[in-house]
Structure formats: C-alpha cells, structure tokens
Amino acid sequence: MRIQDQHLEHIAYVMARQAVRGGLIEGGEAKEEKVFTIIKRVLLEDAKKEREVEEKAHALLKDHVRDIETGGLSYRKMFVRVKEKLAKERNLVL
C-alpha cells in the first residue's frame, strides 16, 4: 500500500523536527525548515519513482492477464515480482 504524498510531507516534518530539536542537526528553526524541505523532496521523489515502477509493471502484465489467470497464477504475486525486478534494475529500494 502506497503512502499518500500528504502523509510523506508529515513524515518529513516530524523527521526534520526531531533531527533539529534532538541535536542531530544544529541551527534552530531556520535549519529545521531547510531540513524539512530536503527530506520532503527526497521522499516525494522516491514515491514518484515507485509509482513509475508500478505503472510499468502493470503495463508489462496488462497483455498477459488472461495467461496469468488461466495458468493459475496470482496477478498480485506476478505484479510484486515484476515490480521488484524493475526496481532492482533501476537500483531502487522499495
């Protein structure tokens, strides 16, 4: 299940706040905003890459749905396998 972008932004906010207020990063509130922006960008970029991998996996399987179902295979399992393979080819960690 994919995390929605608004939740990723909240996660980025919490991570930035804890990093700065916990003393891992010095600089106060101004630094907290910069750290938040960086973390948010990275999380959203990764989510976008994962969506692209999912779309590609669905596209690859689209033409084989009937074969998958008649062969007694699970579309979901095949989707996960194709998605993992595509992610590995692109050096993405899911």
In order along the chain (94 residues), what is the average pLDDT of each group of 10 residues? Answer: 88 95 85 94 95 94 84 87 94 88
Q: Quote the pLDDT of residue 94.
A: 83
Give the C-alpha separation, 84 to 94, whole Å: 8
For CA atoms 38, 43, 44, 46, give the dihedral sign. Answer: positive
Give the C-alpha separation, 28 to 49, whole Å: 32
Which pTM was predicted? 0.78
